[in-house]
Structure 1
């Protein structure tokens, strides 16, 4: 053993006596640091192993063959990692992702959403989505650059693309999905110093049918996973530059980490999980730097502020820039207007509130729409459908609806008269009014029946015939912050409606009604009179031919105000995604065992069928490796705790398992366990970011396990 150790050291010295130019710096570091391990790097094997320099001077474990002479072994160790190895990974990845990329030639699954949203960007039409805008912006840009004109409607899955150019958007997603195996190869190579481990990890992702399928369609997932893996690779590369702080490469990988973090969060909010991972790694790195007595506090402060800039300030700036571009491009009224406040809508070209001209003050006889002031609050709405038996009184439903609709219109009337003076009379603070639904002629009504969903609140209904009802149809107008006699200003006044008979206040709970309520938002009468956005409303549309129209210069919100509002709307929209009747709700425990996939296309045997399902062999191997990793970590930790002497290969593998494997295991946990706490509907494809980490962990585990045995 000692002879072989001396042989390895001799050959290392000889290999550094006349190295290639690109390896001289690394060889000088080897001479300088001989006998000690670089902080944060796994120790190299002492027995029959050498360092060779691969990508960016990276050292990769390669054994000297026993049949080689010392000079042959020296030449063998000086060989750089073959570039063709990474090239082969990239070629295989591209070929699997781009194979039959145009099939099927019709809309598949969520292409109906994200393809349509790409079209909205090309047409500059505003829309609402529960995810941040970067992924859809990139899809729209890819379509625009490849000749797609944004005219395909994307109505439903199965619609034929015909002559529309859709391959560019699919190709863009496939290109980003093709980067995942090469990224995995480089990450595992950095963490383990083993080409075998890197090849195993990359191969698992290359040949996983689930990853291939998810990358071939117009979806956000390949874009999200590209940025997640980019952030991980940049972070690992940055950590490997710790011996060269503030060098050009150190800054490059720090900046790229921040860029990829903003990209991952800019595509989906689950990008927050990789931000947490990078945050934990950075905090641990800073903690170790703080304990380094050779590092002055001034130098530590430089490290701290560099990371604050690269990992906090820069990502936040880029993230807000994404939204600035989003708001600048989508400047025309579209299907998403109703989810946002009246002030937000006033900035959209084509919206009825943009440069609006309408009567300034509310008057009796006016036709109006009333919008709730909670973020993502809807319009006061009614329709011919009744509350079902057993749900309060069997009367006409009153809801809050998030879209503009003719059923949102109400007539403002006096409590006891149909006749109006020739000179319109303004509605003022403290007035008693009736609101008659224009389409059904039923009055806004409340009574002592419990609300459908919100306990202790009263039911609100539509009641009466042709505007004739009873005393429970009367509401008192209250201008928030106003005094008796103040007129109600259209758009600008915050108004509450107090029910005269019961004393409750008109309220939008934000809860989604069941299918019988068309999944619209519940409207109640709340006995709690505290002023909240849920009980505040504003008059948005106002039609009265007897009043002069004036130009209303609504105070347009600032960028920060619309940024905040858009995030609240997205978060509430995300949490409101509930499974519909007969819709399969995937469970998180289903995912690691590959219990059930997801149908992308095709219902009957005559259609082209696409089914998202991971390769069972790969997924079950990943699951087995997760368990094996836990056992190996336990053994290594116990051995170190008991003071066992670990030497050579075993010691190096123990550090790889604890450090590199530990990081990947933590990443898998962060991208998997939070789904158990989510109340929204979940789908099988939500697990795929975690699959990336479990596959890389499998590469490290299978590579080190034989030696540990």
Structure 2
């Protein structure tokens, strides 16, 4: 019995309460918990419903701790954020990209537009008019409120702290471990220093953490499926996926984490014989709509906004197709004669994966014909000009293409007097577009911009095509052009159109209005152009990139990255993860794998009993966290592209979550006092390591030698003048 005066539960009930509290942890309110779980005895139910209960008090204390960590997170990122008044590191790129939205000038980049549109929004809110070119290491003029721009970016970094806090809480980790996760993210050096500047990395991290947080909310509400709460978090997860993938394609990695969880959950539902086929089909429909349709629609919507804002000609015109360029305000495509004839000088743009202009230069192929290279080139150049001439005849053996397989080389003699029969091409018209005022031109003639055609080699019968691949260094990494036998008539790699046309013998039509560009084509072309640009980011073996690093160096902190010039009078920043966070999280990764397999082995030997709740908890908090680290790290080991320290930023978050699970599991077997002492030591170590290495992320305004004490490893070029 319970004494009315004492207000305490008997020991047996207390044990039951702690048992059920593991399930209650993460439930938004007691009523939801009581509604979705089996009944408790009346006295325990009344105790849970009391607003003065320890659960209610703990809720406010947890909120207070999270709020304190969030405030600290903002303070650390805002602290002396304007101490360096020069353009630091990639601010030269992303600050400039943001300004293009204010000037409405079209540009091209390897990343989707959302992050840069947000940067443009921050610049707009800071009162920036776009009249600054963000040249690397240049001083910000007094008219540019770069402090407000950086603070806008820092908000995304600071908000990762409360998101990490509640993510760990949703994973049913003990609150002492939740505090540790929030603290680690709050004082992580790499997160702080990246949050201080106009970069994409903080936005990428924010949306990555947000997506994982929303996934944990789906996990929490899995017993209340088809409720408004469950539907909300399902669609919120999809929206987060759409956002993270619209900042960088690295967002596909966290999408993979969500996909794995979804597959496992659907499989478990399939194995549940009590669920009707109709309800199971409903689960599929909701997930397809929320996790596929919504992210895809958002991704396309951001490009729609991107195209709408950038309606003027700019530096990125060459990455798009001809009609898109022709519809830009101030287009570089000049009025020309509408009918192409013999003697016309033309430039031709491909409709393939590399929408470049047909190009040739004096450099020759290193083997094969050893004649002049014919390539695809994105920028305007005199070597893009071709003359339409009558055919000639002679003969020569066939030569295979140099990069792709099964095609033929396309080359040029570089002489008007030398040639052979394979120089002749037959024009096949595949599409005639109406003009902007809906009139149709002569379908038997070739017209700039509105006529799409194929070029068939007169002797071989193959078609001129852009493969989407690039030549190596000897071809200046330009697009490969071949003669191929297409898979069918609609193979866009063999489609071409005329962009520029000059013929002094023909009348120039100044009244021509180009047909409108189609969004779907614009969207597809610009995404393939982004993919091509990403593929071109390969290490140059002839040059030493002092900023680049190898992926194995990131989890070991073998080296960092200097974010600006290293003069004694410069406020210097060094991109390096916290040794406490990085080394400890890296060390626990193999421990976590062993721990998972040990639990699985014990479960198979029936020496460990797992409830369904416990299985899901291990899967989400341990397995998915580790999978998240693998998906965000291992691909960089396999890529052939150049890599940098900041590429480890999302993977570090999942490494921290792995560390948290191992700590929580290990310390759960400690007695109360030893557990508290251990956590206090972890908190103190985390804060002390931040304080000791704080100059790396808060700025080093003094002479280099004053920071010699920070250089723990030879690879940390903090104090030496090696690259100053």
Place the TM-score, normalised by the shorter chain, in its bin: 0.7 to 0.9
Q: Which residue of 2 aligns with 1:158?
A: 137
Contact kept in structure 1, 2:93 and 2:134, CA below 8 Å:
yes
Name the residue aligned to 1:440.
Answer: none
Contact kept? 2:106, 2:315, Cα under 8 Å: yes
How far off is 1:498 after superposition? 3.7
Pairing 1:698–2:659 present: yes
**1:621 Cα deviation (Å)?**
0.2
* Paired position in structure 2 for 1:371: 349
| CA deviation after TM superposition for structure 1 residue 577, in Å | 1.7
Matches within 5 A, 1:326-475: 326-353=306-333, 357-382=335-360, 386-387=363-364, 398-412=374-388, 414=389, 431-432=390-391, 457-458=408-409, 460-461=411-412, 463-464=414-415, 468-472=416-420, 475=423
Query: Matched residues in 2 for 1:521 and 1:244: separation?
Result: 53
Is the alpha carbon distance of 1:606 and 1:295 closer, same or farther for their aligned partners in structure 2, counting shifts above 3 Å? same
1:243 to 2:223 alignment? yes
**Superposition TM-score, scaled by structure 1 size:** 0.79
Cα offset for 1:188? Answer: 0.7
| 8 Å contact kept, 2:36–2:223 | no
* Matched-pair contact (CA < 8 Å) for 1:499–1:506: no
Structure 1 equivalent of residue 499 of structure 2: 540
SS at match of 1:539: strand
Normalising by structure 2, we get a TM-score of: 0.78
The correspondence for 1:87, drawn from 67, 81, 85, is 67
Alpha-carbon shift at residue 433 of structure 1 (Å)? 7.5
Partner of 1:98: 78
Instruction: Quickly say closer, same or farther: Cα 1:673–1:322, change in 2 above 3 A.
Output: same
Question: Cα gap change, 1:386/1:234 in structure 2, threshold over 3 Å: closer, same or farther?
Answer: closer
Aligned to 1:490: 448
Runs of at least 5 residues in structure 1 that lack an aligned partner in the other structure: 16-21, 36-48, 58-70, 415-430, 435-444
Q: Secondary structure, in 3 states, of the residue corresponding to 1:381?
A: strand
* 8 Å Cα contact 1:11/1:74 also seen in 2: no
2:519 aligns to what? 559
Using the alignment, how far apart are the partners of 1:247 and 1:214 within structure 2? 39
Count residues with an aligned counterpart: 631
Match of 1:611 in 2: 574
- Alpha-carbon shift at residue 450 of structure 1 (Å): 8.0
Q: State the distance in 1 between where 2:287 and 2:251 align.
A: 19
> Which of 509, 534, 548 is matched with 1:574 structurally?
534
Please report how far the alpha carbon of residue 176 of structure 1 lies from its aligned counterpart in structure 2 after TM superposition. Answer: 0.3
Change (3 A) 1:475 1:304: closer
Structure 1 counterpart SS, 2:224: coil
Q: Distance in 2 between matches of 1:145 and 1:571?
A: 32
CA distance in 2, matches of 1:622, 1:51: 42
The structure 1 residue matched to 2:599, chosen from 632, 636, 657, is 636
RMSD: 3.9
Whether 1:586 and 2:544 are equivalent positions in the alignment is no
- Matched-pair contact (CA < 8 Å) for 2:392–2:420: no
Distance in structure 2 (CA, Å) of the matches to 1:50 and 1:191: 24
- Tell me the SS of whatever aligns to 1:471: coil
Deviation of 1:177 (Å): 0.7
1:650-661 alignment runs, 5 A limit: 656-661=617-622
Within 5 A, what are the aligned runs for 1:208-357?
Answer: 208-353=188-333, 357=335
Q: Which residue of 2 aligns with 1:425?
A: none
Q: Say whether residues 1:622 and 2:580 are aligned partners.
A: no
Q: Is the 8 A contact 1:446 1:458 kept in 2?
A: no
C-alpha separation in 1, matches of 2:664 and 2:38? 30
Contact (CA 8 Å) 2:320, 2:522: kept in 1 or not?
no
Higher percent of residues as strand:
1
Show CA shifts across 1:188-218 (max 9, x none). Answer: 1111241111112122222221121222221
Secondary structure of the residue aligned to 2:655 is: helix
2:89·2:563 contact (CA, 8 Å) conserved in 1? yes
More displaced, 390-399 or 253-262? 390-399
C-alpha distance 462-170 of structure 1, shift in aligned 2 (>3 A): farther
User: Which blocks of at least 5 consecutive residues in structure 2 are unaligned?
Assistant: 1-8, 22-27, 432-442, 671-724
